A and B are shown apart, each in its own frame.
Chain A
Amino acid sequence: DAKTTQPNSMESNEEEPVHLPCNHSTISGTDYIHWYRQLPSQGPEYVIHGLTSNVNNRMASLAIAEDRKSSTLILHRATLRDAAVYYCTPRASGTYKYIFGTGTRLKVLA
Chain B
Amino acid sequence: DAGVIQSPRHEVTEMGQEVTLRCKPISGHDYLFWYRQTMMRGLELLIYFNNNVPIDDSGMPEDRFSAKMPNASFSTLKIQPSEPRDSAVYFCASSRQGLWEKLFFGSGTQLSVL
Binding site for B on A (CB under 8 A): 30, 32, 34, 36, 38, 42-46, 49, 87, 91, 95-103
Contact = CB atoms under 8 A, between A and B. Distances in A.
Nearest to A34: B102
B49 to A, nearest CB: 10
Contacts, number: 55
B45 interface: yes
Given A95-B56, A100-B43, A102-B42, A43 B102 contact: no
B45 A44 contact: no
Given A32-B100, A49-B100, A98 B33 contact: yes
Nearest to A92: B56
B56 A46 contact: no
Given A96-B31, A98-B33, A103-B43, 8 more contacts: A30-B99, A32-B99, A38-B43, A43-B107, A43-B108, A46-B103, A49-B102, A96-B95
B34 interface: no
B56 A43 contact: no
29 contacts: A32-B100, A34-B102, A36-B103, A38-B43, A42-B107, A42-B108, A43-B91, A43-B93, A43-B107, A43-B108, A44-B43, A44-B93, A45-B105, A46-B104, A49-B100, A49-B102, A91-B99, A96-B31, A96-B95, A97-B48, A98-B103, A100-B35, A100-B42, A100-B43, A102-B41, A102-B42, A102-B43, A103-B42, A103-B43
